[in-house]
Amino acid sequence: MKHKIKLRSWLWKWHFISGIISLPFILLLSITGVIYLFKADYEALEQQKIKNVEVLTSNQSSFQEQWSVANDYAIKKPNSMVVPQKPGDATEFISGRFGGKRSIYVNPYKKVITGEIVASEGFMYKVRKLHGELLLGDFGTKIVELIASWMVILIITGLYVWWPTRGWNVKGFFIPRFKKGKRILFRDIHAISGFWISVMLLLVLAGGFPWTDVFGENFKKVQEITNTGYPATWDGRGLSYEIKEREEPLPLDKIVAIAKEMDLEGVVLIHFPKGKKGTYAISNRSTNLEQQQKIHLNQYTGEEVKVHHWSGVGILMRARMWLMAFHQGEFGLWNWVLMLGTGVILFLMSLSAIFSYALRKPKKNWGIPAVPESFKIDYFIIGVIVLLGIVFPLFGISAVLIILSYYLKSIFQKKPQI
């Protein structure tokens, strides 16, 4: 029992230290995360003049003609297009990916450009950059990854410290104590809200880690080694078919007609062939991941060369894509509300921790919780730290540096307590 009390004190100390360092960043991440959830609504209002056109009674121009208009306008030739879902939609032609993505919109009735949307110039793109890399590029990405890694530690240590040791009581563990003073109230708000969203926070963090530099790259390597990513032919590499002499590629309108006949769920895209032996590829983006497909077609005959179903994607990639979509609230209203609530509660939880600390902090020191000198770390705890350090390398490096700094102090001071 005494050892458990000492362990509790030791974990409380590390929860406290990591919280002091991480909280300013966590507040920023929660605010920017909540703002980014409104991306679709914000951009729908901002971009409606570009994306929506007046439906005219005159004949609609062919997609082949619209493609030509987009090619003439584009700096970098489009590599795909979005199949319009209704008559009032401008046709979107896309070049580039991620931050380099550019979308050109063509009025199908007048054969003119209605506008261009450059991903890196939008307000929400800047919010995303602030959320993912603090506007500091690769260095900022690593800071965010480090904070996210320590958030896992905060959740684990917080649950252990919060867990009742002398029986359960509704007040203090499930309901804040409003009559025990401000410090206790803010402490309860922090601890109780942290308990209720702890599992959600771990899911949110799991959905964010694939975007990181170190963990993300290591995860990709594991996918490659275990062959649990996208199939090798997903992007059309390695696919081949016979080409007859003087055979001409099918017009884009024929491929659009084939795509419409497939009646795929969600937003349907057509990816243009790369070279004379490349394929047209039809894919769809849907909130129901199980319905996503990618079908490669012979660009001369329209025959299917390769069909990819979601079930053919490796299990780690499927898990990764599900968690990333969940992280962004893309599975419908329930998911969006859940992410919004988690972000708001995380902000309030962090803010209440700061208020609680400010009310209890001694004037002459940081108020770091003390640990009995007789406390010895279990091999189990060491094993957990090592395991977490392997899974989250930036946490492992930072933990080693912190421990080394404590032991270096031992040259000048008595036994350091880590």
Closest of 318, 257, 261 to residue 288, by C-alpha: 318
| CB neighbour burial string for 66-93, b if at least 16 within 10 angstroms, e if fewer | bbebbeeebeeebebbbbbeeeebbbbb
C-alpha to C-alpha distance for 231 and 313, rounded to whole angstroms: 6
Fold for 230-313, please state it.
Nuclear Transport Factor 2; Chain: A, (3.10.450)
- Report helix, strand or coil for 122: coil
Task: Tell me the pLDDT tens digit for each residue of 172-185.
Answer: 677 888 888 888 89
For residue range 119-134, what is the model confidence (pLDDT) as tens digits?
A: 999 899 999 999 999 9
| 417 has pLDDT over 70 | no
Q: Determine the pLDDT at residue 212.
A: 95
Residue 61's nearest CA partner among 8, 111, 128 is 111
Type of residue at 349: M
307: its two tokens: 């069909």
Backbone conformation region of residue 243, classed left if phi is above 0, alpha if psi is from -120 to 50, else beta: beta
* Average pLDDT estimate for 188-196: 91
What is the pLDDT confidence band of residue 418, given thresholds at 50, 70 and 90?
low
pLDDT tens, position by position, 289-335:
999 999 999 999 999 999 999 999 999 999 999 999 999 999 999 99
pTM of the shown model = 0.90
Domain boundaries, the chain: 2-37+126-220+332-409, 39-125, 230-313
Q: Three-state secondary structure along 301-352?
A: CCCEEEEEEHHHCCHHHHHHHHHHHHHCCCCCHHHHHHHHHHHHHHHHHHHH
Q: What is the DSSP string of 38-64?
A: THHHHHHHHHHHHHB----SSPPPPHH
Query: Per residue in 159-171, pLDDT tens?
Result: 988 887 656 676 7
pLDDT band at 394 (very low <50, low <70, confident <90, very high): very high
CA 153 – CA 316 distance, rounded (Å): 23
Residue with tokens 């005494």, as numbered in its chain: 2
CA neighbor of 149 nearest in space, from 316, 326, 29: 29
Choose among 43, 44, 92: nearest CA to 66. Answer: 92
316-328: pLDDT as tens digits: 999 999 999 999 9
